[in-house]
Amino acid sequence: MFINFWYAAEQSENVTDKPVGVHMLGQDFVLFRDTSGQVHCLSNVCAHRGAALAGGKVNGDCIECPYHGWQYNGGGQCTTIPAASKDVKIPKRARVDSYPTTERYGLIFAFLGDLPESERPPIMECKEYGQEGWRATTIVFDWDFDYKRSIENALDAAHNEFVHTTHVDKKEGDPFRVPPLDLIDHDWGTSFHIEMPAPAMFEEKMRDTADRAEPSIFHIYAGYHGVSSFWTFIEPTPKFIRRQHFYETPVDVGKTRIFTVDMRNNMRDPKDDERMVYMDTLVMNEDAKVLLGIRPVLQPTTNIKENFVQSDSHMAHYREKLKEWEAVGWRIDQDEVDRNKMKVAYAISSPARRTSKNWTLDPVPLVPAKTGVTTSNIANLDRNVRERKQE
């Protein structure tokens, strides 16, 4: 798992006047809204004696710990210690990490890391959300598989006719041959375009939107962004476009919460939402059936423990990209976290730790950066790699 990316923490509508506990990257967080409606994301471990803040309550602009009532503002600073006499100054160390948040596409995103704003990788865009002519449906899935396996599945053009038998024709003796893919590099990921035979299962209404009676080619544009977001743009017919955005949040090792935001430019009647959700859930369940059985649960540390063929080239590319993000020192040292599981409460370093020392919790340990690779040059590094490949 990696720090220094934006992760979808919860659906906006689920954070109202009560604190909400969220587990991400193997750590606990609390989300709450202040009186102005601004949502905050704090480390869930009270700096007093470690109680879970999410079990407390929202008190004005603060979250109040359920144990002894310490209150923390949105910046993570303790503002009230009820049991202390009035003339005792609140120690500076009475604070918890506070993470930048933003609300987009009906979701609350938290930046789990310590990068200053100018260096943060952006959230994967969902341009059509809220735009005229588009309709959104959002589904949240919780799975016991690793997000990296899920991203690779999303990039996998060879699995459709075997996994999605409900809506993809399997032509015996004439399998779909994945053509060599032109990978398009982006600052924070890679994408490709592929044409596939149209699915057999077509909703009648979809057919109605086609220019031709029997659409034969299905255009798919897909790519990943950062460690755990990906998008799939499907054009079943020239007039029917679906743009699916998957914000995957690593909950813990081998546990993933997937927020899907699915945009469509046709069948926009709210009555059709149910059919869209049904179809998306059907497809997700088909993928999950395979993903839950893959071993090892995590990606092997070397590709020679699997057999990559030409149609897996974009997965290999994703793995290379992960190595780049590891080289800048963003990967959590999970072995160290696990070793200390029962005796150390960690917090992911928040941006404030860059400028201020003396925190109560230890920072989540990270795999050390490779010499000469710094967090401030990651985007440049990315571009350099791309330019080198183009030469």
Smallest distance, ligand FES to C-beta of residue 59, A:
12
Report the residue number whose CB is nearest to Fe ion. 287
Smallest distance, Fe ion to C-beta of residue 128, A:
22
Give the orientation angle of helix 378-390 with respect to helix 313-327, to 10 degrees: 140
Q: Which phi-psi region, left, alpha or beta, contains residue 120 (left: φ > 0; alpha: ψ -120 to 50)?
A: beta
Smallest distance, Fe ion to C-beta of residue 220, A:
11
Binding part of the chain for ligand FES, among 65-73, 116-124, 236-244, 253-261 by CB under 6 A, reads 65-73
- Token output for 205: 């209404």
Q: Is 67 in the site for ligand FES (CB under 6 A)?
A: yes
Q: Is 65 in the site for ligand FES (CB under 6 A)?
A: yes
Q: Which of residues 144-163 bind Fe ion (CB under 5 A)?
A: none
- Give the integer Cα–Cα distance in Å for 219 and 193: 7
Q: Is 287 in the site for Fe ion (CB under 5 A)?
A: yes
Binding part of the chain for ligand FES, among 68-76, 87-95, 321-329, 341-349 by CB under 6 A, reads 68-76
- Token output for 264: 């469509």
Smallest distance, ligand FES to C-beta of residue 134, A:
45
Smallest distance, ligand FES to C-beta of residue 65, A:
3
Q: Is 70 in the site for ligand FES (CB under 6 A)?
A: yes
Q: Is 51 in the site for ligand FES (CB under 6 A)?
A: yes
Q: How far is CA 302 from CA 294, 298, 369, in A?
A: 16, 11, 19
One of 15, 46, 54, 337 touching ligand FES (CB under 6 A): 46
Q: How far is CA 148 from CA 23, 151, 249, 308, 386, in A?
A: 18, 5, 10, 16, 22
Q: Are 276 and 136 in contact (CB under 8 A)?
A: no
Q: Which partner in ligand FES, Fe ion, none is near 10 (CB below 5 to 8 A by kind)?
A: none
Binding part of the chain for ligand FES, among 27-35, 66-74, 92-100, 376-384 by CB under 6 A, reads 66-74
Residue 149, judged by CB atoms within 10 A of its CB (0-12, 13-18, 19+), counts as: buried
Choose between 30 and 241: whose C-beta lies nearer to ligand FES: 30
- Give the integer Cα–Cα distance in Å for 52 and 20: 11
- Give the integer Cα–Cα distance in Å for 327 and 73: 35
- Give the integer Cα–Cα distance in Å for 252 and 255: 5
Smallest distance, Fe ion to C-beta of residue 167, A:
11
Helices (H), the chain: 147-154, 160-163, 204-209, 273-291, 313-327, 334-339, 378-390
Q: Is 49 in the site for ligand FES (CB under 6 A)?
A: yes
Count of other CB atoms within 10 angstroms of residue 332: 22
Choose between 51 and 277: whose C-beta lies nearer to ligand FES: 51
Smallest distance, ligand FES to C-beta of residue 69, A:
6
One of 23, 68, 135, 386 touching ligand FES (CB under 6 A): 68
Q: What angle do CA 180, 220, 107 make, to 5 degrees?
A: 125
Q: Which partner in ligand FES, Fe ion, none is near 287 (CB below 5 to 8 A by kind)?
A: Fe ion
Under the rule (CB under 5 A), what is the footprint of Fe ion?
Answer: 287
Under the rule (CB under 6 A), what is the footprint of ligand FES?
Answer: 46, 48-49, 51, 65, 67-70
